[in-house]
Amino acid sequence: MTEKRNSRIALLAVVMLLSGALLGLMSEDSSAADNNAVGFISSADPSGVDVTIINQATGESSSETSAEDGSYSFDDLANGEYSVRYSKAGYLSVLNSWSIPSDLPLAGVSMEAAPSGAETITINVQDGAEGNVEGATVYLMSSTTEDSWWPGVDVGYTVSEVTGVDGNAEFSNVAAGTYDVRIEAEGYATILGSSDDADNPFNLAELDDTNKQTVRVFDTGGNPLGDASVFMYDATTSSWYDAEKVGYTYYLHPSTGSEVYVYAYHGTHSPAVGKIASVAGTDSHDMTVGDNSAADSDTVYINAAPSNGGQSMAPMKGDKMVKLNPGPSASIDVSGTTDLDGAHVVAADSTVNFSGSASTSVVGGLGYSWGASSGVDYSAEFAAGEHTVTLTVTDAFGAIASDSVTITADGEAPTPSFTAIVKASTDDEGEAYNGSNVDEDFNTVIFNASASSDAVGIDSYSWNFGDESSDTGDVVSHIFEDPGTHTVTLTVTDAAGNSASDSMSISVNDVTRPSAEFNWSYTNETGGVILNSAMEGEATNFNAGGSSDNSNGALTYTWDFGDGSNVTTGKTVSHTFTSIQEDGFNVVLTVADASGNEDVTSYNIKPAQKERPDIFISSLTFSEDNPEEGDTVTMDAVVKLLGLSINESFQVGFFLDAPDGEQIGSVSVDGSNLSVGIEHGFNVSASWKATSGAHTIYVIADHTDIVDESEEKNELSKVITVKSDDDDDDVTSMVMIIAVILLAVGSVGYIYRDNLFSK
């Protein structure tokens, strides 16, 4: 039970702590926006003092009257800056300022009694035509000063009265002396005077059309606006006058010779203001609102602090704050130069462009002067040396401001200088380039241009490595991918834009092997090129044009065709394979670059077997099939050719009883006389003196093997029986029977041969 109670107590404590913290935060947030200000006035009679405050940020104004004990209070004041004026008849007004909440609690304010006496001053106000003016406000200002509404600007102690039906304003119990007089009345121009003239009426001039100023207000699109707020400030008398509005037109009636400022305000546009230096007759004015982004819709700016009693009135025009024109702000933008430690640097005789477009004015109407030139923009060329350019801007009220820039024109080019250190790795400290210690794709070369110099300072370093690559910076590194001699160029540009260059030749060693590659082809009998093929006995064309090397230099090409022939050199070569072999020929290409780096490639090439000629004997006949011993027998044979033509000469031999027997005849045949085809034949003849007996005659084409043929079956045989003188009839008959049989066999062979090769 005790544990539960303790837990509840602990929980309740946490809740109370959190609640207290939350309330504290809420209280803190609330006090940040709302403040209660209580103050006290010390004087002979502290009650009845009018305390008027104006929020300098918003223009919000409020007043309180001090109590019998001199206390006053303002509740729920927002944080900010306030102007505060304390005033009471018989006392000198005091101007104060508050910074809320830091000035809380408020310090006490002491008010001094104003001078008084037994004098009475009566001011009579008339309009010169209608007689007495009732309701005019008359101000008397003594030589004794008090605080005005304008910080640092004093005003004579001021008292005021309003005229009655008789046009009189009576001031009693005033000290003897001369007073400045200020008189204001609705519909009349404010007039200024002196109490020394009080014996005569003060005549007000009615606002009429004598100096009528016609004002029309437009937006930035050129559209007229009928709901603008237009008024004017007469700086001569420190008086405000509202315009008379008729449709889209606004009328103002200033006094002759007055210095007048005309204002146009519109809720959705920034305001516009114009100045009339000295009013003289009627005039028209077009005003465009929305043009000046620096203007403030909640503020009315005047040229100078009010005078002639106007400074005693609160600095408000309706709900808008009235402030002094802070004057324009001049600002120069420079282009075409380099900013070096805040200085504008340019090359001598170069054009520099200036712009005053960043200048501002809350009252607008800026005019620009560059000395010898006017306009918002300005351009000039500068000889070597330092030059000061000044922009003076003047706003619509005539206030001026200026800005200056210094231009340093540099006429001297920088001095470029750099070194090269060659490194093999990141850990390598490197060595200076010596003309031969840079290998392609391997060594890193560090280029250092920090020794370059210039009078005004170097702005940039630009590198061209001579191999279509570049870089920037005072220290750079580069790896050369290609061998050869590369010209490395450094260009340094100083802050003024002057530049100069320096170069160094870097020789890069070629350590990369070339790439060997080739193809081959031959031309067939119809003229067609057959790629990557070879034919026995025909020229094969080899082309190593596909080989390459990163140096782009000259290459040497060495060929070994693998058939025992001599090595050949050249980028394109021809070679004839005179024979074929089952495993083909291993053709090897060796490519070498100028640095001696080599690459080898090879292909196994199997030439196609070429078609060959086929010579054969198609028939063999004798002039006498049964000659007698001693007769001369003419042997006629027909030679035919299939396959390919031939040009060689060959022998046709006749042999007795065996292919390798006694040669009994031989005929030389020019192969070019043979026509290809079974239908063509070439006749050859030889003579033989017959010897007795039965013989087999063999005829063989190309028996000496001159012609390379597809098959060597070139012989044909035939039996012939030669009678001897003493043969009897039986023997003769038997021989004839055998001869007939052999003849039949030979004829069958002949017919078979023709049919075999017929098409």
* pLDDT tens digit sequence for 670-679: 999 999 888 9
* E strands, 325-443, in order: 333-335, 338-340, 343-347, 351-355, 367-369, 377-381, 385-394, 400-410, 419-423, 431-432, 438-439
- H or E element, residue 285: strand 283-288
Beta bridge partners of 685: 636
Q: What share of the chain is helix, strand, coil (3-state, %, to 5)?
A: 10, 45, 45
Q: In the chain, how many H helices and how many E strands?
A: 2, 57
- H or E element, residue 42: strand 35-42
> For residue 717, what pLDDT is reported?
95
- H or E element, residue 85: strand 80-87
Q: Across the beta sheet with 556-560, what order do the strands follow?
A: 568-569, 556-560, 585-592, 598-605
SS3 109: strand
- Answering whether pTM is above 0.85, one says no
Which portions of the chain are predicted below pLDDT 70? 1-33, 712, 726-759
pLDDT in tens, 374-388: 999 999 999 999 999
8 A C-beta contact, residue 571 and residue 563: no
Token duo for residue 357: 């477009």
* E strands, 484-538, in order: 484-494, 499-509, 519-523, 529-531
> For residue 497, what pLDDT is reported?
86
The residue among 240, 94, 197, 108 whose CA lies nearest residue 155 is: 94
> For residue 50, what pLDDT is reported?
97
8 A C-beta contact, residue 400 and residue 393: yes
Rounded CA separation 253/190 (Å) = 12
Rounded CA separation 440/507 (Å) = 10
Rounded CA separation 743/122 (Å) = 183
> For residue 426, what pLDDT is reported?
87
- H or E element, residue 252: strand 249-252
Token duo for residue 308: 């002639």
- Which amino acid type is present at position 358? A
Rounded CA separation 550/718 (Å) = 75
Token duo for residue 410: 């540099």
8 A C-beta contact, residue 496 and residue 338: yes
Residue labelled with tokens 């006017």: 374
Rounded CA separation 368/345 (Å) = 24
The residues near 173 (Cβ < 8 Å, ≥ 6 apart) are 116, 117, 118, 119, 120
- H or E element, residue 16: helix 2-33
